[in-house]
Amino acid sequence: MKTRETAAKVAILIGALVACLALSAPATSAKTSKAPIFWIDLMGTASKHPRHIFFSANAGSQVNKIKWNGWGKNRSVGRGHYFVTSPPPPGRKNPEGPARIVVWKPFKCVPAFGNRKGKVTWMYSHARMLRPVPSGGRKWVDISAYAGEGACR
């Protein structure tokens, strides 16, 4: 009788010990921290998940109120409002409406100017935007040149 009681107590003790170890072990699926990814604008200003993107130094097209999903991952999608601030051609209207920006394929660069000058910086190498067109509808355009790769050495 004592052997069964002792065996039961040992089994309970081993079960409790295994449960404690399982709960205190670090999770192996924990996300490792990656370096932040930046968008470098025309002036060389680097920002994480930009809220505004300008496609010219003065009046011109831009996207504002951008909200990003997945910024910092291999692929991210931003949604915002596209509009043009320069005067339209005579008898026409500037396009305006929703825009979707898709960025992907992060790479490492060292900017030659701007607020990250000389610092190793991660940024997206590819960018496409679905924007409104004057004739109605929307079209995809390549905006990779505006993502900041030109600032890299």
pLDDT band at 35 (very low <50, low <70, confident <90, very high): confident
Q: Is 129 within 8 Å of 117 (Cβ atoms)? A: no
Q: Which residues contact 98 (CB under 8 A, 6 or more apart)?
A: 79, 80, 81, 82, 132
State yes or no: pLDDT of 43 exceeds 90.
Answer: no
* Tens digits of residue pLDDT in 79-93: 999 999 999 889 889
State yes or no: pLDDT of 24 exceeds 60.
Answer: no
Whether residue 71 lies inside any domain: the answer is yes
Confidence (pLDDT) at 62: 95
Range of the domain at 48: 37-151
Beta strand 75-84 pairing with 121-132 = unpaired
Count of the separate structural domains present in the chain: 1
| CA 104 and chain centroid, separation | 8
Whether residue 51 lies inside any domain: the answer is yes
58/29: higher pLDDT: 58
- Amino acid letter for position 32: T
Q: What pTM does this model have? A: 0.75
Whether residue 56 lies inside any domain: the answer is yes
pLDDT band at 29 (very low <50, low <70, confident <90, very high): very low
Whether residue 19 lies inside any domain: the answer is no
Confidence (pLDDT) at 42: 85
Sign for the CA dihedral angle at 129, 141, 107, 45 comes to negative
Average pLDDT over residues 18-22: 51
Whether residue 32 lies inside any domain: the answer is no
Whether residue 21 lies inside any domain: the answer is no
Average pLDDT over residues 24-28: 47
Q: Kindly state the greatest CA–CA separation across the chain.
A: 102
Whether residue 120 lies inside any domain: the answer is yes
Sign for the CA dihedral angle at 114, 107, 81, 68 comes to negative
How far apart (Å, rounded) are the C-alpha atoms in residues 71 and 76? 5
SS3 140: strand
